[in-house]
Amino acid sequence: MSRRSIISIALTVLLSAGLAVQAQAQDKFIILQSTTSTENSGLFDHILPAFQDKTGIQVRVVAVGTGQAINNAANGDGDVLFVHAKSAEEKFVAEGHGVQRFDVMYNDFVIIGPENDPAGIRGSTDAVEALTRIAKTEAPFASRGDDSGTHKVEMALWSATGVDATAASGKWYRETGSGMGATLNTGIAMGAYVLTDRATWINFGNKGNHVIAVEGDARMFNQYGITLVNPAKHPHVKADLGQQFVDWVISAEGQATIADYKINGQQLFYPNANASN
């Protein structure tokens, strides 16, 4: 065999090996079905680079309402679920769609509204009383109306008021069918009250003349959880890579990375995996 042939073969082997490594690297990713609040708050921009640097695993986020994220994961369109509707997440696991759910972190919901406060609720710590006043005064209220975790909390609060807000849909009560950021934009443009998670509000740029009107109600507690999609039901799920992400998120390192995410000195999420798992 000539020297030229040997060199050619060697180059071919090296090229093939390089392509194989490149293909393997490109395949080292997971699909994360999550909620818009984790995306809109900027949390993923903070924590995902740290995870990828440590493991080489890329996390591709699909940010939709929690209800849609759960449906997507139940259909096998993702490897990990990271949302904030605990009872719905537990049902997801009970029905065999997920392996095990873990608490990850929490913050809270707030009701924001215009500074002129047409419903007279600013400073209240009672969300149910505040919503009752909004309905009584027919002050504008913008709802996500999308079966998200935020929307589920809002509906529970309306139920506690005894008011059927949806009966006023298209009047003082407006359903956007959109994510948190889009709903805030709509609500601010129309001078409406909006229920939002605090983290998205802190990170939101277009606050207009809106401020936090209601906060501190225990009924507005906001718990997030993470679940590996069940590979027994969906064999294509990247169980090993997905489990590495779950394990990292609830580990001391992952929890510290979440706690470190702050905007203007304000901590947006409070890790609590170790408190319950």
pLDDT single digits (tens) 121-141:
999 999 999 999 999 999 999
CATH 3.40.190.10 intervals, the chain = 3-107+222-276, 108-220
User: Which of helix, strand or coil describes residue 274?
Assistant: helix
Decide: helix, strand or coil at residue 214. Answer: strand
Instruction: Tell me what pLDDT residue 50 has.
Output: 98
pLDDT band for position 275 (cuts 50, 70, 90): confident
Amino acid at 106: Y
pLDDT tens profile 17-49: 444 444 444 579 999 999 999 999 999 999 999
Question: Hunting for tokens 């003349």 — which residue is that?
Answer: 209
Of the candidate ranges 16-25, 76-85, 197-206, the one whose mean pLDDT is the lowest: 16-25
Q: Are 83 and 77 in contact (CB under 8 A)?
A: no
CA 194 to chain centroid, in Å, comes to 17
Question: Is the distance from CB of 33 to CB of 77 less than 8 angstroms?
Answer: yes
Q: 109 and 201 in contact (C-beta within 8 Å)?
A: no
- The pTM of this model reads 0.86
Q: With respect to CATH, is domain 108-220 assigned 2.70.70.10?
A: no
Instruction: Dig out the tokens for 36 from the structure.
Output: 């818009």
Query: Tens of pLDDT along 210-256?
Result: 999 999 999 999 999 999 999 999 999 999 999 999 999 999 999 99
CATH architecture of the domain with range 3-107+222-276 = 3-Layer(aba) Sandwich (3.40)
